[in-house]
Amino acid sequence: MADNIVSVDLRQIEGISFAAKAGTGHWVAMDGPAEHGGSNGASKPLELFLMGLAGCSGMDVVSILSRMRVDLQDFRMEVKAPRTEEHPKVFTRVEIIYHLYGDVTEAQAEKAVNLSQDKFCSASAMLKPGVPIEHQIVIHRKEEALLEGGTTKELA
């Protein structure tokens, strides 16, 4: 049963600057603004939370499209989540825009995104009972990636 447990080791660096390591052994830095005791030197925990959601669903979508033998040239997601004004300042909803580049049909894209959101993405499944998740899919043809200044793979 130990395989079903995810554990994290969090260490204080200074003030509210932290580093955390999970089972993969990779350290991730977290920080807050100076006015709260941080140094503003890393992502905030809720930013990492949304990055985790995006990574979880993004890995699903790319993997599903690959198994469908779709010629996906590039992939990008935008995630936004408005928060309440009062503490604990929780997300009121999550808005996701999936950008797929290549020869992808609307049916293929919808199937991959819906499978991720409804079946495979653990992060989405944990959020949905308390926070609505809305999504949109934008399909860009191969030529569009070049018109937009290149693909996201150039960032690597």
Q: What is the pLDDT of residues 71-117, one digit of tens each?
A: 999 999 999 999 999 999 999 999 999 999 999 999 999 999 999 99
Q: What is the pLDDT of residues 26-49, one digit of tens each?
A: 999 999 999 999 999 999 999 999
Whether the CB-CB separation of 92 and 131 falls below 8 Å is answered with yes
Nearest C-alpha neighbor of 140 from the set 112, 107, 101: 101
Name, in order, each residue with C-beta under 8 angstroms of 142's C-beta and a sequence gap of 6 or more: 73, 101, 102, 103
Give the phi and the psi of residue 44 in degrees, each rounded to 5. Answer: -80, 155
CA distance 86 to 73: 42
CA distance 49 to 71: 30
CA distance 16 to 34: 9
The residue ranges of every structural domain in the chain are 2-36, 45-155
Assess whether the region 2-36 and the region 45-155 belong to the same CATH fold. no
Q: What is the pLDDT of residues 107-151, one digit of tens each?
A: 999 999 999 999 999 999 999 999 999 999 999 986 665 555 555
Name, in order, each residue with C-beta under 8 angstroms of 148's C-beta and a sequence gap of 6 or more: 140
Strand duo 27-30 + 133-140: pairing: unpaired
Give me the percent of the chain exceeding a pLDDT of 70: 89
Which fold, 2-36? N-terminal domain of TfIIb (2.20.25)
Q: Which two tokens stand for residue 97?
A: 């825009």
Q: Does domain 45-155 have CATH number 3.50.50.60?
A: no
CA distance 94 to 145: 26
Is residue 2 scored above 80 in pLDDT? no
